[in-house]
Chains A and B, each alone.
Chain A
Amino acid sequence: MTDLARLDGTDRVLGIVRLALLVVVAAIQPALSLPVVDSTAGWAAFGALAGVTVTAACWVVRGRPVPLPVAVPLAVVVLAASTVATWEVPPDELFGGRHWSFGLAGWHLLVLLVDRAALAATALGALVVLTLARVATTAPTDRGEIGRVAIVVLSVISFQLATLALTRLVHRRARQAAEAAAERDRQAQRKALAEQQEADQRIRFAGQLGATLPLLAAMADRTLDPRDDTTRQRCVLAATQLRRLFAENDDVPDPLVHEVSACVDLAERRGLTVALAVSGEPTPVPTEVRRELTAPLVTALVAARTQARVSVLRTGEEVRVAVITDGEPGEAPASSPRVGVECHTLGARLWMEAKWRSEPS
């Protein structure tokens, strides 16, 4: 799962909450408030709140939060409408059946600001303060009256605050769950990739064994005689190729020189005197290219009789692997579009070079 998709997942939770709040507002406003609105100012406040609901719906039904530049003015409208409606209610009816705006306006604020917990809490606080201001102006003296107001305000506002808090909690948990799921996905992906690579490597390895398997098969079938020089030469070739192939999979800082050294090592074990010279800074060389660079070296070393000089040169633009031996010029590996192979003889000496341009000039 990508990060974008994960965010979509958690945003969907918030989208559902917003939609639910919108439905609540759209349902309770006409159902509970409509019958008790009486004054002109009350109707204006009712209309303003209905307008806020409709405006907010433009975003909410599409699963998006109301943008901040829209939500803040709308919240102000809600607070204003609520204040107007509150002032229209006779003092003895405050928080009673005719005080329709108090329970309602808080839900409007939540629809607008549920994505911004701090702003939502502030707006709800402002709503309570504005409403209580009306209570203060009527200066109730009855203790029972004050207690009743407090209970109503607390029950309404705490319900709305609890909704807000729960929404944030669910949102956070959803995000954590999504992140955990994404991490699990990533791990699964890495594992699958590693398995694929291993499988690929096995296949490649089998492909590289090409020269060895027919040789072994032919010797097992006795169609090849191990005493024969040609057979021995083929064995040397297979052994060198294998040795190089093993080196290819080693984790070393300079793989090219490591592979070249592996070939040299085998030639030395056969009793050849081999000088290896390396110059220039190590350059990253792709595995395929390394294979092509060392192929002429393997051929030349197998053909060498007593001595060889092997050189690896890295300049800024190119990598060259060259070998000079006292062997017979065998069949040199062909050049490829990437690696140019040159072969040259002078007297009893055979010179072979594989060259790779690391940077197009």
Chain B
Amino acid sequence: MAFGTELTAVVIDDHPAVRAGVVHWLSSGSPPIKVLAEGEDVRVAWIGDGARADVVILDLHLNSTTPAMGDLRRLTEAGRRVVVYSMRADDDIALQCLELGALCYLTKAEGDEHLVEAVRAAGGDRAYTPPSLAGALAGDRSERRPALSARETEVLIEWFQSESKEFVAHRLGISPNTVNSHLERIRIKYAQIGREAPTKAALVARAIQDGLIGVSDL
């Protein structure tokens, strides 16, 4: 996204009502996010106006019982910034999506605030960690999980439990900004263990640029 220009998105979901809702949420934000295309099929992200969109909002179950992991992989490999927006709340799927290079995994139980914030973050090559994803990361017992510090784990747990960064900051005696940087650092750690994807490289580059991590941390 070039500075000063409007952030754009493409919405892929097989339910028209969900698409309409997402479009409304995005366009009524401040500043509004422009939806270039929407559709029930991942093709809208590849051809036409959708191919130019900064952020892809992808539902995982598109008229099918199997999650569209292949579509997600192809999008992230092409360097697209993807926010997964799914019905499913199971941790495994969420962690898999992160590994495939999604910048955020949101469940549909989570509201507009989180979605808008996730799309904004993705537009700036940043990861966003909503509370449900924080829970999945905190409960992650897989062998490949990165080593998190005690404080990082605490932040994840508190954020999962309270859904309020002010609350987390107050509980842990830190500033809300520190809460954010902890969450971002955690996501960088996850990005580093995942498969190679241009979006991940961009995420890590962004983190270095912002001074979140040093090159020596890699």
Contacts and interface: CB of A to CB of B under 8 A. Distances in A.
5 contacts: A309-B162, A309-B163, A320-B157, A346-B170, A353-B161
A313 B160 contact: yes
Given A277-B131, A279-B132, A324-B162, A315 B139 contact: yes
B91 A280 contact: yes
A279 B163 contact: no
Interface in A145-188: none
B3 to A, nearest CB: 36
Interface string B137-163: 011010000000000010001001111
Contacts of A222: none
A346 to B, nearest CB: 5
Contact of A281 (B109, B141, B167): B141
B135 interface: yes
Interface of A: 275, 277-281, 309, 311, 313-316, 320, 322, 324, 344, 346, 349, 351, 353
Contact of A277 (B132, B164, B171): B132
Given A280-B141, A320-B161, A322-B161, 7 more contacts: A275-B163, A277-B109, A311-B135, A313-B160, A315-B139, A346-B166, A349-B164
B167 A324 contact: yes
Contacts of A353: 161
A320 B134 CA distance: 14
A300 to B, nearest CB: 12
A-B complex: 6 closest residue pairs judged by Cβ atoms: A280-B139, A279-B135, A322-B161, A279-B139, A311-B161, A316-B141
B141 A351 contact: no
B186 interface: no
Given A277-B131, A278-B89, A344-B171, A313 B141 contact: no
B72 interface: no
A280 B135 contact: yes
B108 to A, nearest CB: 12
B136 interface: yes
B162 A315 contact: no
